[in-house]
Amino acid sequence: MTLAHISELHGLPVYVFPLPGESSGDLPEAESVAWKLVRQDNDPEDFDDCWNRFLETVDPSRVRALVLGAGAYGSELDAGDSCDEVAERLAGAADRLTGLRALYLADLEFEECELSWIVQGDVSPFLAAYPRLEELAVRGSGGGFGGGSGLEFTPLRHEGLRVLRFENGGLPAEVVQGLAASDLPALEHLDLWLGAESYGRSTTVADLAPILDGSRLPALRRLGLQNGDNQDEVAAAVAAAPVVALHLGRGTLSDTGAAALLSGQPLVHLQELDLHHHYLSDAMAERIRQALEPYGVKVDLSGREDADDPDDRYVAAGE
């Protein structure tokens, strides 16, 4: 699967902050869009100039959502340094971006940087700098390709965060452990792309246990454990999770995992079960439909892949 740029964040359409002299009219109201800052190597201004001009042009106190794209993160050769620069840049503007509620880090598609090359660092400082942030999404993990330590999540307390998403091809266990050790009383929606072991996934089902049993995230209602090469194991463990929407797609889910999922607690309490990109047989897909759809559960079984040999199965987003 080729990752695409996002088009919406926090319910707001993404709007790319224009180059100098490029705007054909008035800019949108600061609070009406998710501002995307992106600069390419051949643009007439670099990212630092873009960032400073943005803060001077748009009323930063009214900005609700911010998307950082190419330019904010360096090439694969210096990405290990640039993730620290992103943290410093945002922390330095926290007293001006007082209305910020949503942040998306590294909105890069394949042509700009492969997913496995997007190197992140510790994302907890972003939350510490913005205690009123409600949504944080992070693309990439890295550490093994472009330098730097890779994605981290230092345990913390944050009372405002409602949505947290990690999109990557290999999720380190330390991130999940840090998340499980955090105090996030308002978190309603958690989406973890587990990824493939060959791209750095070290997260196991045991690491997910404090999240699945409901002991650490009391407000959690929507849970995504996607894109995993251990999807059958995850499905077997997740059946009893106290959520109303469950997303287990993008990974290597087979009939084995689906059968384990159905053999757990009844899933008729769910509003949604998303299994997009799976390796289920037609018979198992029909069994899931018959078990859930009569109870009003919205089931997504699109994106069926064929691979009889488990070694031929792949996650939707790895490289």
What SS3 class is residue 186? coil
pLDDT > 70: percent of the chain: 93
**Rounded distance, CA 262 to CA 287, Å?**
9
Q: What share of the chain is helix, strand, coil (3-state, %, to 5)?
A: 30, 20, 50
**Rounded distance, CA 178 to CA 162, Å?**
17
For 146, which DSSP code? S
Comparing 239 with 191, which gets the higher pLDDT? Answer: 191
Comparing 318 with 193, which gets the higher pLDDT? Answer: 193
What confidence tier does 146 reach under pLDDT thresholds 50, 70, 90? Answer: very low
Q: What is the pLDDT of residues 164-180, one digit of tens each?
A: 999 999 999 999 999 99
Average pLDDT, whole number, for the chain?
91
Predicted model pTM: 0.94
Beta-carbon count within 10 A of 279 CB = 24
Over residues 96-118, the mean pLDDT reads: 91
Strand order in the sheet with 102-105: 8-9, 12-16, 34-37, 65-68, 102-105, 135-139, 163-167, 189-195, 222-228, 245-247, 272-274, 298-300
Residues 221 and 188: beta-carbon distance below 8 Å: yes
